[in-house]
Amino acid sequence: NAGVTQTPKFQVLKTGQSMTLQCAQDMNHNSMYWYRQDPGMGLRLIYYSASEGTTDKGEVPNGYNVSRLNKREFSLRLESAAPSQTSVYFCASSPTRATGELFFGEGSRLTVL
């Protein structure tokens, strides 16, 4: 059982380039999330989607866009990457609303030069 799959696992970008992080879950979960992890900052919520067709801003949404393509897939797009977006990005899914039990992917390490 794959769980939550993120691609790519590693990416290096130049400032101003764009890219999309892909996330897919095979657990039929309703809610999906994107977090970033930075040293000393913990996990910060970028965007989340409570159900197919809905998305909402989290704590640090600036510079990002998301698409909940269908129930399985939730992508995160950087339109014009900045060095401040260098981070490890985690996608997560949850079977129920707001109970907090998240299933995380392995993470995508992004470096913006």
Partner 1 sequence: DQQVKQNSPSLSVQEGRISILNCDYTNSMFDYFLWYKKYPAEGPTFLISISSIKDKNEDGRFTVFLNKSAKHLSLHIVPSQPGDSAVYFCAASANRDDKIIFGKGTRLHILP
Q: Which is nearer to partner 1, 55 or 85 (CB)?
A: 55
CA distances from 47 to 2, 92, 113 (A): 23, 11, 24
Here the tokens at position 68 are 């909940």
Q: Does 59 bind partner 1 (CB under 8 A)?
A: yes
Centre a 10 Å sphere on the Cβ of residue 106 and count the other Cβ atoms it contains.
12
Binding residues for partner 1, rule CB under 8 A, total 29
CB 88 within 8 A of CB 41: no
- Does 85 interact with partner 1 (rule: CB under 8 A)? no
Cis peptide before 95 (omega within 30 of 0): no
The CA radius of gyration of the chain, in Å to the nearest whole number, is 13
Region from 15-23, 27-35, 61-69, 75-83 binding partner 1, contact rule CB under 8 A: 27-35
Q: Which residue, 19 or 88, is less far from partner 1 as judged by CB?
A: 88
Q: Is 105 in the site for partner 1 (CB under 8 A)?
A: yes
Residues near partner 1 (CB under 8 A) are 4, 31, 33, 35, 40-45, 48, 50, 56, 58-59, 90, 92, 94, 97-107
